[in-house]
C-alpha cells in the first residue's frame, strides 16, 4: 500500500507540542505521539474523543449487580433450606454478595475495555518505535501519502526533530 510512516524524535515536550500544532495546521490529521509518561498538553493538543472505557465499566458493574441478585435469589429458592427463623430470600445478607459481584465484574470488564480499546487502532510498527520513548524521548509518527513524505520531513526538521525515520506501514 502507498501509505508511509514518518517518525520524528524529540527531547522536549514544548517542541513536540509545537511540531504537532504545525503538522495539524498543514493538514496532517493522522498523527501518533509517543511519550514516556501521560501528559496533559499532548492530550490537549491531540484532542482525541473521550475514552469509551467508561461504558465498559458501567455495563460491567450493572451486569455484576444483576448476577448478584439472580445468583443469590435463584439458588436459595431452588432448594429452600430454612436456617434459623430467617426467610428463604432475605435481602440484607445478599446485598453483600451483590456488592462484591458488582465490583468484581465491573473491574474485569474495565480491564477488558482497556485491552480492547487501546488495540482498536493498529499500533505503530516496530520500526516506528524507539526504545527511548520509554525513557525520556518524545516522538511524533505521521502517516501520510508517499508524495507527502518529503513535506513532513521538512516540517519535522524545522520543528527541531533530532532524528527522523521513514518507513512504509
Partner 1 sequence: MRKRIKLLSVSVLTLVIFSGFYFFDNAESSSKGPAQPVRFSHRIHATDDQIPCEYCHSFVDVSPIPGIPSLKKCMGCHQHIVGRDVDYDFDGTTINIKSEIAKVRGYWERKEPIPWIKVNSMPGYVHFTHKRHIQRGFQCAQCHGDVASMNQVYPAERLNMGFCITCHTENAKDHEELAHLKDCLTCHY
Partner 2 sequence: MSQEKKGGLKRRDFLKIIGVAGGTAAVTGACSPPVEQIIPYVIPPEGIIPGVPNWYASTCRECPAGCGIVVKNREGRAIKVEGNPKNPINAGGSCALGQAMLQGLYNPDRIRSPLIKNDTGRMQPAGWENAETALVEKLQEAMQKGSGSNIVFLSGHTPGSMGNLIDEWMTAIGGRHLSYETYAFEPLTEANRIVFGIDKIPTYNIDKTKYLLSFGADFLETWVSPTLYTRQFSEMHSYKDKSMGKFVYIDPRASLTGVNADEWVSIKPGTEAILALGIASAIVSGGMSANGAGPFGGLLSRYTPDKVSSMTDVPEETIKEIAREFSSMQPSLAIGGGVATTTTKATETLVAVNILNYVAGNIGQTIDFGNTLTLSDVSSFDDISSLVESMSNGEVDVLFVYNVNPAFTLPKSMGFEDAIDKVPFVVSFSSFMDETTEKANLVMPDNTTLESWGDFIPNESVHGLIQPVMTPIFNTKSTGDVIISVTGQLKGFENTFSQKDFYDYLRNAWKEVWTSSTGGGDFDSFWDKALEDGGIYKTTSPVPVSVSGDLSGVEFSEPEFQGDGDFYFMAYPSYRYYDGRGANKPWLQELPDALTTGVWDSWVEINTETAEKLGIKLGDYVRIESPQGAIETQAYVYPGMRPDTVAVMIGEGHTSYGRYAKDRGVNPITILPVAKDALSGGFAWFTTKVNISKTGKYTPFVQTQYTTSEEDRPMVGTVALSSLVSGELEQEHGEHEEPDFYPPVKHSSQYRWGMAIDLQKCTGCGACITACYAENNIPFVGKELVAKRRDMAWLRIERYFEKTDNKAGFDTRFLPMLCQQCGNAPCEPVCPVFATYHNPEGLNGMVYNRCVGTRYCSNNCTYKVRKFNWFSYKFPEPLNWQLNPDVTVRDKGVMEKCTFCIQRINYAKDQAKDNGRKVLDGELQTACQQTCASGAIEFGNLLDEESKVSKLSHDERGYKVLQSINTQPSITYLKKVKWDKA
Partner 3 sequence: MSEQTSLTYAKVNEDVIRMLDKPTVKWLALFIPTLGIVGFGLFCFLYQVYTGLGVAGYRHPVFWGVYITDFVFWVGIAHSGTLISAILFLFRASFRISIYRIAEGMTVFAVLTAGLFPIIHLGRPWFFYWLFPYPNQRELWVNFKSPLLWDVFAVSTYLTVSSVFFFVGMIPDIAAIRDKVTEVPRKILYSILSLGWKGSNWEWLHYTRAYLYFAAFATPLVLSVHSVVSWDFAMADLPGWHTTIFAPYFVAGAIFSGLGMVISLTVPIRKIFHLEKYITLDNYDGMAKMIILTSMIVGYAYGTEFFMAWYSGSPYEWGQFYYRATGEYALFYWIMVACNVLIPIPLWFKSVRRNIKALFIISIFINIGMWFERFNIIVISLSRGFDPAAWGVYKPSWVELGITAGSFAWFFMFFLLFIKTLPSVSIAEMKEFLPVPRKEANHHG
| DSSP state string for 10-67 | ES-HHHHHHHHHHHHHTT---EEEE-SS--HHHHHHH-PPPPTHHHHHHHHHHHHHHH
Q: Which of 15, 31, 65, 112 touches partner 1 by CB under 8 A? A: 112
Q: By CB under 8 A, tell whether 119 contacts partner 1.
A: yes
Number of residues this chain uses to bind partner 1 (CB under 8 A): 6
- Residue 83 as a binder of partner 2 (CB under 8 A): the answer is yes
Q: Which cell is 74 given?
A: 435463584
Judged by CB under 8 A, the number of residues near partner 2 is 9
52 binds partner 1 (CB under 8 A): no
Q: Which of 124, 155, 156, 161 binds partner 3 (CB under 8 A)?
A: 124
- Under the binding rule (CB under 8 A), the answer on residue 79 touching partner 1 is yes
If one asks whether residue 161 binds partner 3 (CB under 8 A), the answer comes out as no
- Tell which one of 13, 89, 91, 116 touches partner 1 (CB under 8 A): 116
- Answer for which of 3, 52, 74, 86 binds partner 2 (CB under 8 A) is 86
Instruction: Report CA 132 to chain centroid distance, whole Å.
Output: 21
22: number of Cβ within 10 Å: 14
Closest CA to 16 of 32, 2, 1, 27: 32
Q: Could you say whether residue 123 binds partner 3 (CB under 8 A)?
A: yes
**CA separation for the pair 43, 37 (Å, rounded):** 11
Q: What does the alpha-carbon distance between residue 71 and residue 101 come to, in Å, rounded to a whole number?
A: 10
Task: Give the x-and-dash track for 136-155 against partner 3 (CB under 8 A).
Answer: x----x--------------
Amino acid at each position: 500500500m502507498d501509505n508511509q510512516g514518518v517518525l520524528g524524535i524529540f527531547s522536549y515536550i514544548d517542541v513536540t507540542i509545537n511540531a504537532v500544532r504545525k503538522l495539524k495546521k498543514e493538514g496532517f490529521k493522522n498523527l501518533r505521539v509517543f511519550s514516556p509518561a501521560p501528559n496533559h498538553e499532548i492530550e490537549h493538543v491531540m484532542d482525541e474523543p473521550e475514552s469509551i472505557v467508561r461504558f465498559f465499566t458501567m455495563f460491567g458493574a450493572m451486569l455484576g449487580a444483576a448476577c448478584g441478585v439472580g445468583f443469590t435469589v435463584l439458588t436459595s429458592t431452588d432448594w429452600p433450606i430454612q436456617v434459623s427463623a430467617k426467610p428463604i430470600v432475605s435481602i440484607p445478607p445478599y446485598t453483600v454478595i451483590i456488592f462484591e459481584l458488582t465490583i468484581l465484574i465491573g473491574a474485569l470488564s474495565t480491564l477488558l475495555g482497556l485491552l480492547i480499546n487501546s488495540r482498536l487502532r493498529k499500533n505503530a510498527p516496530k520500526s516506528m518505535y524507539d526504545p527511548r520513548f520509554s525513557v525520556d524521548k518524545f516522538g511524533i509518527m505521521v502517516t501520510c501519502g508517499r508524495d507527502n513524505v518529503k513535506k513532513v520531513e521538512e516540517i519535522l526538521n524545522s520543528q527541531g526533530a533530532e532524528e527522523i525515520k521513514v518507513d512504509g506501514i
